[in-house]
Amino acid sequence: MLACRMNGGLEGIVDAVFRELRDATLRLQQSEVCFCSQTPAELRLHTPLASGADQVAAKSARSNGYQIHALLPFSAEDYRQDFEIGDELDEFELALDAADAVIALPGERSAPEDAYVVVGKKMIEEADVIVAIWDGLEGRGPGGTAHVVELARASAVPVIHINLDWSSDRIRTRMLVGDDAIEPEAGSQLTSDSYFRLLRDTLQASAASIATASPGTGRKRGSASPA
């Protein structure tokens, strides 16, 4: 497993995950021409840019060549109410300004939980892979990370789980595919081949599904879009 001390270690782990996904996507495009487009791969991170992990992921993804698509539960004006005035709001404003696209979903402030669920479902809809920075504990309600992971697994969207283990002060990374968990042996890391196989199997299944639904279209997908 990927492991390091929690203090100051998260950014490095997140950066490694996005780098591995990027490299696996490019490798897949070169080796699997039967279902990958030969146009340049488009790497996108879909995120609501919440304080903490979301913004860490956005910075890391951008540094690795991803476009950032901000998925907001409300209008930007309404969403700003989620952030404490001061550094927290300022950091959100910077992250929002840096986004390549901003999509404000039609959530209602009177029903915030429903709005966050819609964001989670939209991320799953847009993603080939979900990257979840999460302590693995039960969620605080619909729309939280635990709920999104549950929905992704039920929808056959694989999850790369960056597990914040508070009991040991360590960060560990594994892959969740349906009901299965892919975890390296103790003391080892997820390999580049693990990322490659995950993307290959995911995109092969997606291509087969598209071909079954629309015979003869020949549509190909050439990029992974972690969300």
pLDDT digits 0-9 by tens, 90-109? 999 999 999 999 999 999 99
Residue 30 pLDDT greater than 60, yes or no: yes
The verdict on residue 59 lying in a domain is yes
Measure the CA–CA gap between 29 and 158, rounded to whole angstroms.
19
What's the CATH number where 138 sits?
A: 3.40.50
The verdict on residue 4 lying in a domain is no
The verdict on residue 107 lying in a domain is yes
Containing structural domain, residue 144:
10-213
Which stretch of DSSP H or E encloses residue 176?
strand 170-177
Position 187 confidence tier, pLDDT thresholds 50, 70, 90: low
Give backbone dihedrals phi and psi of 121, rounded to 5 degrees, phi first: -65, -35
Position 218 confidence tier, pLDDT thresholds 50, 70, 90: very low
Total domains in the chain come to: 1
The verdict on residue 223 lying in a domain is no
Counting every residue written for the chain, the total comes to: 227
| Cβ–Cβ < 8 Å for 216, 42 | no
Say how many CA atoms lie within 13 Å of 42 toward its Cβ. 12
| Cβ–Cβ < 8 Å for 4, 12 | yes
Average pLDDT on 11-23 reads: 95
Using CA atoms, how far residue 67 sits from 39, 60, 61, 208, in Å, is 16, 11, 8, 27
Taking only the tens place, the pLDDT of each residue in 43-95 is 999 999 999 999 999 999 999 999 999 999 999 999 999 999 999 999 999 99
Residue 214 pLDDT greater than 70, yes or no: no
Lowest mean pLDDT among 37-41, 86-90, 173-177, 192-196: 37-41
Taking only the tens place, the pLDDT of each residue in 119-168 is 999 999 999 999 999 988 887 788 899 999 999 999 999 999 998 887 77
Residue 3 pLDDT greater than 50, yes or no: no
Residue 212 pLDDT greater than 80, yes or no: no
- Give the closest residue to 21 by CA, choosing from 199, 222, 213: 199
Instruction: Look up residue 23 and give its amino acid.
Output: D
The verdict on residue 152 lying in a domain is yes
Q: Specify the pTM.
A: 0.84
Average pLDDT on 163-179 reads: 85
The residues, ordered by sequence, that sit 6+ positions from 91 with a Cβ below 8 Å of its Cβ are 51, 55
Instruction: Look up residue 38 and give its amino acid.
Output: Q
Q: Which residue has the higher pLDDT, 189 or 82?
A: 82
Residue 219 pLDDT greater than 60, yes or no: no
DSSP letter, residue 217: -
Using CA atoms, how far residue 146 sits from 89, 123, 139, in Å, is 25, 14, 5
